[in-house]
Structure 1
């Protein structure tokens, strides 16, 4: 298991010039201040339930701000679903939950048209994807056909039923949990499905102190039962729009391309990172920079997130897989070997 990235430190926001379509400095600076305040509350709410692992809360909130989707992978019982439910309860918005099983049909996700004899018309009954936050439990226990029903939802924010396209609510976030593919009754996610997830994280086992705290907190009742919303979906949507104005210099963008591009020529990989990987790595780096109180992206932001954003999209060669090499190892190696652009005022 690859170690969790270090949490970015809160830095003084830089004074950015309003170029390249960026927001006015004063408005952006004030917005960043509000973003830090709101996301700190959300992270604290999540950490009150999933204790001892602040990196999980940081990445989860960053993906939400970057308007992506999150894949949470690990063995049963380590808190994958609890993490997703804690995020959902901390934000006052519509939440849907899907328990993926082998007999689940695509229409169970997207909805179905029902014929009403009284009116002689079809009525659309929406499925659970018509929520702001959709929690998909054990997504790889459903068949590939059902898994693929989420592709249009995740990429375009719409779903098509019987030839009619329906727009999903906004913001829209899928938090899917997945068991390791070696476990009984699981199907590997198709490559196109994995590529739609902005980031993947592994929860891992808590340390002794965090697990003791969990026992104390849940001795009488579940912390989830007492978790109240600390912000609204409308606020998160507004902050997500603000994240788009965080500045990424040409040097930082080139660094993103260099990191992802290096995976495409790596001898241990059959499939490297897609252009979508580059785009989503930059988006979540902007969100992480904003959460750290900065108006600009640093190479550090890219380094801390690269494993989570890129590794799950890669496919190993047979030789690498037999040698016990993981895609996380390769991305970490690529990050270590890729030259970091020299610091310059252009970052800001």
Structure 2
């Protein structure tokens, strides 16, 4: 089976158990295929945790969950040196922490202090951690999905903009549509009724191999992007940095524009999106389809925008509207 067929089958498997959140599932796969990490923001109970758990269930990959709390220590994430003594010999051995897994769910990342956030974000960026002066490499297949609750801000430590920039995408999760709500209720009712007879991992069937992910990445890397589309990506980023060239409202709303990571993110995500849609080339529509998720955490809004109640998505809409498609 071709890599794309396997990934579409994986997407369908997850979609059958995570109802009404097709866009989040698609973004989760884009992050996995683009070798990036996701910051997912949404109200409680919208299947954020469930989605990555199901990905770990149907993909041949390990999953760790880290519940971020104010008393968490960096070593609780990265691991630490443990002193062992046996048969008259003693030594320090590295005990890996939960970050040493293929899929890492960082639940409510903004509830942990800066040192703990930095420990995870360093692992995301460097794909290794250093403990007692020794580097320890993370798995080749590695994805962090960090979650935030947008309604509870007391006792939290908001991520600085420089650290937010390390996430490939910032995904908003909204309520499912009304037609999905009853299906969700019936699905959970059925799962609770079948708890005693729930299938084991062996009964689930063949899980998608990690080799499929690596093969898909190679195909995505070969996706053609015309120079006109490359220039369109650059123009979108430039519009966030020099908004006065395009519109007076943009100039008032944007304080700081997207970094070069925004350009790289649009390139990776648009090529991945085009591949998932079955095309071997990238169109401006593919770029626009991922623009909000790639840019919404990379644009710092001005006080004027905040006073007017302007959101990042509205600014991105204006940027897309103002920048001509090549």
TM over 0.5: yes
Correspondence 1:81 to 2:58: no
Q: Which of the numbers 2, 7, 19 marks the counterpart of 1:51?
A: 19
Q: What is the Cα deviation at residue 296 of structure 1?
A: 1.1
Correspondence 1:41 to 2:9: yes
Q: Which of the numbers 104, 115, 126 marks the counterpart of 1:145?
A: 115
Q: What is the Cα deviation at residue 83 of structure 1?
A: 1.7
Q: Where does residue 24 of structure 1 map in the other structure?
A: none
Matched residue of 1:231: which SS? coil
Q: Note if contact 1:100-1:138 (Cα within 8 Å) is conserved in structure 2.
A: yes
Q: What is the Cα deviation at residue 182 of structure 1?
A: 4.5
Matched residue of 1:324: which SS? coil
Matched residue of 2:222: which SS? coil
Q: Note if contact 1:170-1:237 (Cα within 8 Å) is conserved in structure 2.
A: no
Counterpart-to-counterpart distance in 1, 2:122 and 2:291: 25
Q: Where does residue 283 of structure 1 map in the other structure?
A: 268
Correspondence 1:293 to 2:278: yes
Q: What is the Cα deviation at residue 184 of structure 1?
A: 2.8
Q: What is the Cα deviation at residue 304 of structure 1?
A: 0.6
Q: Where does residue 68 of structure 1 map in the other structure?
A: 36
Q: Which of the numbers 235, 240, 245 marks the counterpart of 1:258?
A: 235
Q: Note if contact 2:3-2:212 (Cα within 8 Å) is conserved in structure 1.
A: no
Q: Which of the numbers 76, 93, 97 marks the counterpart of 1:108?
A: 76
Q: Where does residue 92 of structure 2 map in the other structure?
A: 122
Between 1:301-310 and 1:173-182, the stretch displaced more is 173-182
Deviations 1:12-48 (A, max 9, x none): xxxxxxxxxxxxxxxxxxxxx8232112111111211
Q: What is the Cα deviation at residue 71 of structure 1?
A: 1.1
Q: Note if contact 1:181-1:187 (Cα within 8 Å) is conserved in structure 2.
A: no
Matched residue of 1:131: which SS? coil
Q: What is the Cα deviation at residue 73 of structure 1?
A: 0.2
Q: Where does residue 127 of structure 2 map in the other structure?
A: 157
Q: Where does residue 246 of structure 2 map in the other structure?
A: none
Counterpart-to-counterpart distance in 2, 1:272 and 1:200: 16
Matched residue of 2:72: which SS? coil
Correspondence 1:248 to 2:225: yes
Q: Where does residue 247 of structure 2 map in the other structure?
A: none
| Higher helix content, 1 or 2 | 2
Q: Note if contact 2:4-2:216 (Cα within 8 Å) is conserved in structure 1.
A: no
Matched residue of 2:159: which SS? coil
Deviations 1:223-257 (A, max 9, x none): 99658464122221221222111111211111111
Matched residue of 2:189: which SS? coil
Q: Where does residue 99 of structure 1 map in the other structure?
A: 67
Counterpart-to-counterpart distance in 2, 1:284 and 1:328: 17
User: Relative contact order: is structure 1 or structure 2 higher (C-alpha 8 Å, sep ≥ 6)?
Assistant: 1
Over aligned residue pairs, what C-alpha RMSD do you find? 1.8
Correspondence 1:208 to 2:178: yes
Q: Note if contact 1:273-1:310 (Cα within 8 Å) is conserved in structure 2.
A: yes
Q: Where does residue 8 of structure 1 map in the other structure?
A: none
Between 1:38-47 and 1:175-184, the stretch displaced more is 175-184
Q: Where does residue 25 of structure 1 map in the other structure?
A: none
Correspondence 1:307 to 2:292: yes
Counterpart-to-counterpart distance in 1, 2:151 and 2:302: 17
Q: Note if contact 2:43-2:151 (Cα within 8 Å) is conserved in structure 1.
A: no
Q: Note if contact 1:144-1:190 (Cα within 8 Å) is conserved in structure 2.
A: no
Q: Where does residue 17 of structure 1 map in the other structure?
A: none
Matched residue of 2:94: which SS? strand
Q: What is the Cα deviation at residue 181 of structure 1?
A: 6.2
Q: Where does residue 346 of structure 1 map in the other structure?
A: none
